[in-house]
A and B are shown apart, each in its own frame.
Chain A
Amino acid sequence: MTITTLKLNLGPQHPSTHGVLRLLLELDGEKILSCEPDVGYLHRGMEKMAEKMSYIQYLPTVDRIDYLAGFFYSELLCRIIENATGIELPDKVRAIRVMLLELNRISSHLLWVGAFLMDLGAVSPFFYAFREREMILRFFEKLTGQRMMYNYFVFGGVRKDIEYLDDVNEIISVLPEKINDYEKIITENPIFLRRTEKKGVLEAGKAINYAITGVNLRASGIDYDYRNQDSLYKGFDFRTIVLEGKDAWARYKVRIMEMRESINIIKQALDYLKKAKPLEQHLIPPVNLKLPEGDYTAQIEAPRGLACCFVRSDGTDKPCRLKWRTGSYYSVNLLRELLVGEYLNDAIAVAGSLDIILPEVDK
């Protein structure tokens, strides 16, 4: 007897692949026998582009690598230049950057919560999450003039001094209650528990072997958060959230708890900024900026896992080679093993729980 399987082409245009991911699934009934991720529908050639641009020309484009967490990638490029030229950031710049990064992390996680619940078929949390995200985006718009592609960090500092601290104050006073509300309607919901508990179990060893980082790794019980080694975060007091659940629910819970932790960090930064003097910064002159010959790497804990930037300079004003490492790319690679054996509707939940965003995958 031969078993006929159904080959299903999930994507690239599908409501729940969060962009243009294409999964070639082989189904037996609704059970997935094999999965082959196919990416590249959003490839913009960020790495090739860098080789033809000077550093300051390239800086505004890096926000587009992950349009939900643009600050992280411009921070990464700035960090490369700062490390290479050996400039020390003033404390106030550090506080501003940390505050904006954490606000951006919260907005990214909020969008994930909404989109994940949308994948599971619940409509409302999407709008609730967007309501809170809107507050953060409004603040970003006031400060930087942009809602998503901020272009606010520059080499050695920030484009202008921080303003509108009252808005941040309001955000962090409102958010904890709202997160409690999410927890009330989502976390203990029996249907939600049935859909996420013991689904998409990712063992710690497998996660490390697949180079999964960030929230997904911490939900598998590995205590690895690059923020602990990051000099930018020196002096800020925060916990690393690690859960042993290994399943989709743990990944959800880690994100929720991490949002609370981010609020904590923002509070510390805000307290510092309220008392700080007006900003005095010595920016690196960006025009004709030439890096000394050599290799430079920088890493940062982005919302979707560890992001690395590698720059090889040949002494000219353009990088000889620039490479990005993004967290989502490895999560997509993991799908080929994680989805096998799941049912189709669980597969959507599991893929959603990894927080994949396609511009980051395709670069």
Chain B
Amino acid sequence: MNWEEFERVFNDCILEGNKIIIKSKLHEVIKFVIDNYTYNMLKEITACDIGNGKTELIYHLYSVVDEEDLFISVTVTDEAESIVDIFKSAIADENEIYDMFGIRFAGNEDLKRLYMPEDWKGFPLRKDYVQDDTRLAWNDNNDT
């Protein structure tokens, strides 16, 4: 992709290999990328807990025409921008990330517990999650 053009518009971002690290304006960046380049598929959104209550979201974009992968990384605390209006596949990803990391996506209203039971407390893939639900056989508080 044409990195110079991208950098002119969004100047506070870093390029590492095929991974762009941005600080904010996620929706704008993704909109810009798909409008100006051939990237058209959002393969997945990966979330990673990086400590201090922060989560890194990695958007894995793909261009079917050029057969190129592009990663866009953004760090959020509790709320992120939803991109379901651009990619319908993000419905699934954002819901999964909400279920596992507790991140709310502004603009995506039907987030619900997906894998976990509806009355489950806590978000399992966070690093500060304690497995103390009484329904678990491998309960952390239940070592005896």
Contacts and interface: CB of A to CB of B under 8 A. Distances in A.
A40 B120 CA distance: 13
Given A43-B115, A329-B92, A312 B48 contact: yes
A325 B44 contact: yes
Given A209-B88, A330-B89, A224 B43 contact: no
A210 B89 contact: yes
Contacts of A10: none
Interface residues of B, number: 25
Contacts of B114: 39-40
A47 B125 contact: yes
B41 A330 contact: no
Interface in B43-77: 43-44, 46-49, 58, 60, 64, 67
Interface in A286-327: 295, 297, 306, 308, 310, 312, 320-321, 323, 325
Contact of B44 (A43, A323, A337): A323
B43 A308 contact: yes
A363 B88 CA distance: 21
A288 to B, nearest CB: 23
Nearest to A223: B64
A190 interface: no
A330 B42 CA distance: 11
B48 A39 contact: no
Interface residues of A, number: 34
A309 B6 CA distance: 28
In this complex, which of A51, A211, A362 has the most chain B Cβ atoms within 10 angstroms of its Cβ?
A: A211
Contacts of B100: 47
Contacts of A222: 64
Interface string A195-214: 00000000000101111010
B41 A310 contact: no
A330 B49 CA distance: 23
B98 to A, nearest CB: 13
Interface of B: 40-44, 46-49, 58, 60, 64, 67, 87-89, 91-92, 100, 113-116, 124-125
Top 6 A-B residue pairs of the complex, sorted by shortest distance between their CB atoms: A211-B89, A333-B92, A43-B115, A40-B115, A325-B44, A321-B48
